[in-house]
Chains A and B, each alone.
Chain A
Amino acid sequence: MTTLVTLPVLLPILGAALTVIGSRSARLQRLIGIAVLAVVSAVAAVLLVVADRSGPIVAELGGWPAPVGIVLVADRLSALLLLISTLVTLAVLVYAIDQRITDYGRDTASTTFHPIFLLLSTGVSLAYLTGDLFSLFVAFEIMLAASYVLITRRTNASRIRSGMTYVIISLTSSLLFLTTIALVYAATGTVNLADLSARVAVLPPGLQTLLACMTIVTFGIKAAMVPLHFWLPDSYPNAPAPVTALFAGLLTKVGIYALLRTQTLVFPQDRPSALLLVLAALTMLVGALGALAQNDLNRLLSFLLVSHIGFMLFGLAVFDAAGVAGTALYVVHHITVQATLFLVSGLITRRTGTVAIDQMGGLAQRAPFLAVLFAVPALTLAGIPPTSGFVAKLALLQAGAAAGLSTALVAGVVIVASLLTLYAMVRVWIRVFWGTEKEPLPDADPADELVVGTAATSRPMYAATAGLVAVSLAIAAAAGPLSSVAGRAGVDLTDRLPYVTAVLR
């Protein structure tokens, strides 16, 4: 069973090695990529079931026990997020393969896309599973290094420009992360998270606050929390749709996960955090208002992404079991729906040849299936019952209303931001899907691998997107069991004992 915990980290590396070696055959690369991610999804499902039944599963690498050695821990929260992330990664890979951005043409393989994509998946898995602050840094670096390649791969001037913003911001936050780890180690002499939870508690309060704030800033940059969000709407929209979908779905959420893990385990509080509440409210409002001003569909979705990061921060800011459980549920819902929306945006662009909303129109008649694929995740994101967004928002609102006046006020902001999201989505719907039909624009750059402005879209792209829509509907259908798992995960996180005793034995 402990070997199973290492598989989500090691299998994608194995896949990356094999896809580099087999880089003569595009078909082999595709098979390896899909097979690896499918196996990892299955492993994650098993981990979730076992972790939910019998507590956290701990793998001690090389047989060295914590806190000396490095441990991988799969508890309810990490297994849950691992499962949903891997499913989304798999769908995005299928979409990317069919959009033909993975290799040159159809049959000439490339040595970059598949290995790098699988390494990104390794980084994400390691970030969820690691029980050690330094390994978390390593996980972030694997993930970011891979994302630098994906965002600037086969590029043009505007992508280089936005890629530079992304790289510089990410490197800055990595530097800050490393500094934080150095300070934590200097103050406590350990980087193991379970060990830290006891040792940080006896530090002077000022030092505790400093370390907590440094982790909030570090992960806040990665999660695109206002006022550290400015890089996101500038960099994400320029990448190809599947890459943006992956980044929007996973990378920011890994930041939220890191925030959730460190704040609850290492810097616990017994009352709602005023700082996080203010940041959450700002993030929700700035993101949602920013989205209303956009004409570029991808930029609009990026601003909505920022706004919904605020929802997850809000659950954490409440700092009780219900709030943390709400965040966990919201992350699961949001990973799926945000990735879906970016994939749909890619389909729309392929159909219309543009990302500018005012250049589109009447798509509902020409592409009714596409309209359905957009409408479901759009309503889900806004949180209309009975979608998964409603389930997740309800959990957050209940937690907020129960925890006191200040959180209840911010819960009001949650409702306002949800309405603004709905408004933004309705605007997109009216302009893109209703109105007079417009002819698709010609491909702005026929030389590159992204074919746009064509009605000829092959089935797997639609199938992958529809698969993700189905996953988000399944989340809504399984709302009962899912929220009880999330509830137990929330209790685990605020209680801290199950995690700490499992790791330190």
Chain B
Amino acid sequence: MTQQEQTPLTWNHWDEPEGEWMLPGECPVRTNRTLLLEMAARLLFPTVLVFSVYLLVVGHYAPGGGFAGGLVAGLAFVLRYIAGGGAEGAEIGTRLNLRPPLLVGLGLLLAVIAAFAPVAFGRPVLASAKYSADVPVLGHVDLVSSLVLDVGVYLLIIGVVLDLLRSLGSGIERDARESRP
């Protein structure tokens, strides 16, 4: 341990991007902005979010679920981030005054509560109940109580993606900007 500490920490910057592969928020060079991508991201963002909620809800009987839905929602944020850089996607948590770890914690908490809730009704841990209803527009709807657990997973995954964007995306960019002479 002691010998290695004498060598200078040259490894420190090996993972820094060569040139910036994600456009920063305040674009110093105007030509680096891609208007096409920015417009596309603006159109796609709400659509992808709606699709992610769809995946979350149908997940019990069809392909989808909290994990898949959360990833798709996370991708919507990734798209905004790539198009707009730090000013859009990565800072979204800051704008909502919500730190990504909080989202992770809330998701986890919701999932654990959903796991314990059946015990209050005298059922085993993680048991699931089903509610059916006829809703005017949507038609016949089957909802299961394990959807709550899926919502927890959904939040958790979005939190993880946002945290990755914050630490690995804008964090690396910031380090690159600061270390540049």
Q: Which residues of A contact B (CB under 8 A)?
A: 2-3, 6, 10, 13-14, 16-21, 23, 59-63, 111, 115, 156-158, 160-161, 237-238, 296, 355-356, 444-445
Contact = CB atoms under 8 A, between A and B. Distances in A.
12 contacts: A2-B125, A16-B108, A17-B105, A20-B102, A20-B108, A59-B124, A60-B124, A156-B5, A157-B9, A160-B11, A444-B2, A444-B5
Contacts of A3: 119, 124-125
- The binding surface of chain A is classed by DSSP as helix
A159 to B, nearest CB: 9
Given A21-B102, A156-B5, A157-B4, A63 B112 contact: no
Contacts of A444: 2, 5
A59 B127 CA distance: 12
B153 to A, nearest CB: 12
Contacts of A60: 124
A355 B3 CA distance: 13
B174 interface: no
Interface in B99-147: 101-102, 104-106, 108-109, 111-112, 115-116, 119, 123-128
Contacts of B116: 10
A62 B124 contact: yes
A153 B180 CA distance: 26
Nearest to A72: B125
A14 B101 contact: no
B105 A21 contact: yes
A13 B112 contact: yes
Contacts of B123: 63
A234 B71 CA distance: 37
Given A10-B112, A18-B109, A158 B4 contact: yes
B32 interface: no
- The binding surface of chain B is classed by DSSP as helix
B109 A63 contact: no
B129 to A, nearest CB: 11
Contact of B109 (A21, A61, A111, A237): A21
A18 B109 CA distance: 7
Given A6-B115, A23-B102, A63-B127, 6 more contacts: A3-B124, A14-B109, A61-B125, A156-B5, A157-B4, A158-B4
Interface string B15-31: 00000000000000000
B128 A20 contact: no
State the 5 A-B residue pairs at the shortest beta-carbon distance, nearest first: A20-B105, A17-B108, A21-B105, A17-B109, A158-B4
A252 B13 CA distance: 34
B41 to A, nearest CB: 29
A3 B115 CA distance: 11
Q: Which of B9, B104, B126 has the most CB of A within 10 A?
A: B126
Contacts of B108: 13, 16-17, 20
Interface in B137-167: none
- The contact size tier of chain B is 20 to 34
B108 to A, nearest CB: 4
B1 interface: yes
Given A17-B105, A17-B109, A23-B101, A62 B5 contact: no
Contacts of B119: 3
Contacts of A14: 109, 112
B7 interface: yes
Contact of A20 (B9, B101, B124, B126): B101
A126 to B, nearest CB: 13
A88 to B, nearest CB: 24
Q: Which of A63, A160, A355 has the most CB of B within 10 A?
A: A63
B4 A62 contact: no
A174 B66 CA distance: 25
Nearest to B6: A444
A444 B46 CA distance: 53
Contact of B128 (A6, A13, A62, A238): A62
A23 B104 CA distance: 12
Contacts of B9: 156-157
A111 B102 CA distance: 9
A43 to B, nearest CB: 14
Interface in B44-59: none
Contacts of A21: 102, 105-106, 109
Contacts of B126: 61-62
